[in-house]
């Protein structure tokens, strides 16, 4: 049995086969003479009730229950010997002390078992004092008493050894089960990531093909609209204005096509040792320069002596500029807010690196979108294509890092980016990779 359980939760206790054996043992003792001794039968009944409620008591009192059980059994065994013989030391029921000895051997370690066995032996030997008031202790009596006490300890040692081995084996199985569960979780995560990469690869090829096919006619449309605008500027002002509108919308569509190409194009990394605090500061400055919404306060919590990381500085700045821009826009719906950026050393799966946390006080991300937020065309914005975070995840993946969405609900979003120290060192994968 477990020595401790979660407090406040009492599990359902079932009748164990060992309890049935103990009850049979007690019933057999009750059938032996003196059968009519009412005190004997009452004590045996109390022992049976204690045995049945033992699991419940330990479950209700995880820390003290086992102590109470052993003490009560020693007391009941002592009282039983006092009512089953003229001299308790000569009672044929002395084996009843095996009950607290075995119980202590099951619930305690070796030293605890020895202490409780010593207490049980002392309780049994306590009947020796009144006996010596009337009788003398012969050498054969000393030998008999010694043998009985030695067997108490022998039984406790044997049972405790098996109980200890059983606990050790059970603990080993629990650790193995936890390791298997963690391995399965990682395998499922890897499989999901592989499926996501396959979908992104197909989508990237499709996006690249469509973008090239769309960009060529867009150029023709834009050139024609600009030519018409120049020719009709003086004679047909309305037509010229419409031509300018066409040109403006073409520019917007062209920018969208460029986003598609950014998503589909392989990332060419040019790694060098970079300071992440400096990159983040540049990203904040870039976003602040183009921000015209409600005021946002940026709090910085940068660990001292953050190690440099082998990164492509421009792509890394793009990652944080995108995250910070998203945070600003999310907080604009609430009239501004607080942006918190933390940078510090961290470790993931035994790999040392640097962790950057970008948290805002905006509207948050709905639960139904959290698992898909890094997929293309998934967005919480009213206007947007949903490629920003997909490109961010792609850049981080190319650096062998990781990005995850932490926090939840409507209390803002928190993104955690991790870059390993070994990125780009040793024998890395090619810098040119595509989804």
The angle at the Cα of 376, spanning 373 to 378, to the nearest 5 degrees, equals: 45
pLDDT tens-digit readout, 346-363: 988 888 999 999 999 888
Residue 173: per-residue pLDDT: 92
Cis peptide before 34 (omega within 30 of 0): yes
CATH class of 272-420: alpha beta
Closest CA to 290 of 318, 262, 328, 336: 328
* Most confident segment among 276-285, 377-386, 405-414: 276-285
pTM, two decimals, is 0.50
Q: Is 51 left (phi over 0), alpha (psi -120 to 50) or beta?
A: alpha
Same fold, 191-264 and 272-420: no
- Give the Cα separation of 328 and 360 in Å (integer): 8
For 254-284, the pLDDT digits (tens) are 776 776 666 666 667 888 999 999 999 999 9
Res. 409: pLDDT tops 70: no
pLDDT score recorded for residue 93: 86
Question: In this predicted structure, what is the pLDDT of residue 57?
Answer: 87
The CA-atom distances, in angstroms, between 49 and each of 11, 26, 295, 355 are: 19, 11, 72, 58
What pLDDT, on the 0 to 100 scale, is given for residue 7?
A: 42
pLDDT of residue 267: 66
Q: Distance (Å, rounded) from C-alpha 414 to C-alpha 360?
A: 6
**Residues 23-69: pLDDT tens digits?**
887 888 888 887 888 888 898 889 888 888 888 888 898 889 999 99
Domain boundaries, the chain: 17-137, 191-264, 272-420
Judge whether 420 and 353 are in contact, CB under 8 Å: yes
Of the candidates 49, 60, 51, 41, which has an alpha carbon nearest to the alpha carbon of residue 21? 51
Residue 209 confidence (pLDDT): 67
pLDDT at 10: 44
Other Cβ atoms less than 10 A from the Cβ of 299: the count is 10
| Domain over 191-264 is classified CATH 3.10.450 | no
Contact 313, 279 (CB under 8 A): yes
Average pLDDT over residues 330-345: 88
């Amino acid at each position: 049995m477990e020595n401790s359980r979660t407090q406040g939760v009492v599990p359902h206790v079932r009748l164990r086969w060992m309890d049935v054996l103990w009850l049979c043992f007690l019933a057999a003792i009750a059938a032996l003479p003196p059968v009519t001794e009412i005190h004997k039968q009452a004590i045996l009944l109390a022992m049976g009730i204690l045995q049945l409620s033992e699991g419940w008591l330990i479950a209700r009192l995880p820390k003290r229950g086992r102590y109470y059980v052993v003490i009560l059994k020693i007391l009941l065994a002592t009282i039983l010997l006092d009512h089953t013989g003229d001299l308790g030391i000569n009672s044929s029921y002395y084996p009843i002390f095996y009950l607290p000895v075995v119980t202590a051997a099951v619930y305690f370690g070796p030293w605890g078992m020895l202490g409780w066995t010593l207490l049980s032996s002392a309780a049994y030997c306590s009947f020796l004092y009144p006996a010596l008031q009337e009788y003398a202790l012969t050498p054969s009596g000393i030998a008999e008493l010694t043998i009985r006490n030695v067997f108490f300890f022998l039984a406790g040692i044997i049972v405790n050894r098996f109980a200890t081995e059983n606990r050790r084996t059970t603990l080993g199985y629990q650790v193995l089960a936890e390791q298997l569960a963690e391995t399965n979780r990682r395998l499922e995560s890897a499989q999901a990531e592989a499926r996501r990469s396959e979908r992104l690869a197909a989508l990237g090829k499709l996006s690249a093909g469509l973008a090239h096919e769309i960009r060529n006619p867009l150029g023709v449309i834009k050139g024609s609209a600009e030519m018409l605008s120049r020719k009709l500027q003086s004679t047909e002002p309305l037509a010229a204005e419409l031509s300018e509108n066409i040109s403006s919308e073409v520019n917007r569509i062209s920018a969208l096509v460029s986003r598609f190409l950014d998503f589909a194009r392989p990332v060419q990394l040019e790694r060098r040792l970079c300071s992440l605090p400096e990159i983040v500061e540049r990203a904040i400055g870039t976003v602040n320069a183009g921000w015209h919404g409600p005021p946002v306060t940026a709090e910085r919590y940068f660990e001292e002596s953050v190690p440099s990381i082998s990164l492509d500085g421009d792509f890394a700045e793009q990652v944080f500029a995108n995250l910070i821009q998203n945070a600003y826009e999310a907080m604009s719906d609430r009239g501004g807010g607080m942006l918190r950026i933390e940078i510090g050393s961290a470790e993931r799966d035994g790999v040392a690196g640097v962790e950057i946390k970008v948290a805002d006080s905006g509207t948050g991300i709905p639960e139904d979108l959290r698992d898909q937020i890094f997929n293309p065309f998934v967005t919480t914005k009213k206007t947007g294509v949903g490629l920003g975070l997909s490109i961010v995840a792609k850049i981080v993946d190319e650096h062998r890092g990781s990005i995850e969405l932490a926090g939840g609900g409507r209390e803002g979003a928190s993104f955690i980016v991790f870059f390993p120290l070994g990125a780009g060192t040793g024998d890395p994968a090619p810098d040119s990779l595509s989804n």
